[in-house]
Amino acid sequence: MDNTCFYCGLPLRVIDRIKLADGNKICKVCHNKVYETLNLNIITARKLTIERIDAGYEALGRDFYDEVQSLLEAKDAINEVGIFSRFFIELAAGAGPLHAPGKVLLVQLNDNRIILDTEKPEYYYLIERSFQGPAYKSVFSSKTIKNTTDKTNVISEFFGLGKNNDKTNADSLQKTVETSRDVEIKSLATIKLFRISDGKILTAAVHADTEDYSEILSLQLHPMMEAVDYEDKAAIAEKISITPDEAVERLKQLKELFDLGILSEDEFAEKKREYVKHL
């Protein structure tokens, strides 16, 4: 009898196993994702089947099986390539295609790829960052302390004099001191990312103070970005997203153009260097 999750294929333990109405079994992690995404309740969850899960995701324009496989691939990549850096960032409103506003775990792998959410993996390269801070605000505070400089009142109180002026003496023996200090507040940092899947460049604002931005500065920029004009989006997509197989194909095309005399020797050598880097 198959004892693995229908979607992720991981072994099922008794405490993690959820049996669906059609007899199929899924793990608790997959079940929780489905429960949240499809807005299920206790009654509808009992009637859940693989067919209903797939239909529910299809109505949302999504494929749960593909999402689970992407998640597993991301976890394998993290384990295989290794993590260079990981920390939480707080995306401001308007992050749009990147992620919903709020805290999100940013992970950069040793090959410079960035994942913004390991639960919904999408790969990016960091191509630019900037910081509008630091920004500060003044915080005021006050406290009451004893006034030990009024020796007359102290002596009078010691000898029991001026008992009718107890309140006056008490007030004169204390004073209020007000202080202020500057405290750093969150300002905005901007990160510009190249999405590997479709070559789009996305910009997001991040709530950050100096310490937060220090973490952002620790991230590695894509090596090829140093020589690329950020406004030339086509060039960025060309230089970053090309695969080794595509590089080989383009080298063949260049050789044909060179053999036909369309490209000069210098032009061929220059173009060849660009694609050899991707092998």
Domains of the chain: 1-80 (no CATH), 81-134+186-228 (2.30.29), 143-182 (no CATH), 244-276 (no CATH)
**Rounded to a whole number, what is the largest CA-CA distance in the chain?**
116
Q: CA-CA distance, 262 to 89, in Å (whole number)?
A: 51
Backbone angles phi, psi at 130, to 5 degrees: -155, 165
Angle made by CA atoms 115, 118, 121, in degrees to the nearest 5: 65
Q: What is the pLDDT of residues 205-250, one digit of tens each?
A: 999 999 999 999 999 988 665 544 545 545 555 555 566 777 787 7
Query: What is the pLDDT, as a whole number, of residue 240?
Result: 58
Q: Does 221 or 158 have the greater pLDDT score?
A: 221
Instruction: State the average pLDDT over residues 50-76.
Output: 90
Q: Does 272 or 215 have the greater pLDDT score?
A: 215
pLDDT beyond 70 at 17: yes
Query: What is the pLDDT, as a whole number, of residue 230?
Result: 47
Q: Does 156 or 70 have the greater pLDDT score?
A: 70
Query: What is the pLDDT, as a whole number, of residue 161?
Result: 52
Instruction: State the average pLDDT over residues 87-100.
Output: 74
Amino acid at 82: G
- Do 145 and 189 touch, CB atoms closer than 8 A? no
Q: What is the pLDDT of residues 122-147, one digit of tens each?
A: 889 998 899 998 999 998 888 887 76
- Do 67 and 54 touch, CB atoms closer than 8 A? no
- Do 143 and 113 touch, CB atoms closer than 8 A? no
Q: CA-CA distance, 167 to 162, in Å (whole number)?
A: 10
Query: What is the pLDDT, as a whole number, of residue 214?
Result: 94
Amino acid at 224: M
Query: Over the chain, what is the mean pLDDT?
Result: 80
Instruction: State the average pLDDT over residues 159-179.
Output: 61
Between 28-37 and 50-59, two packed helices, what is the crossing angle to 10 degrees? Answer: 40
pLDDT beyond 50 at 4: yes
**Residue 178 banded pLDDT, cuts 50, 70, 90:** confident
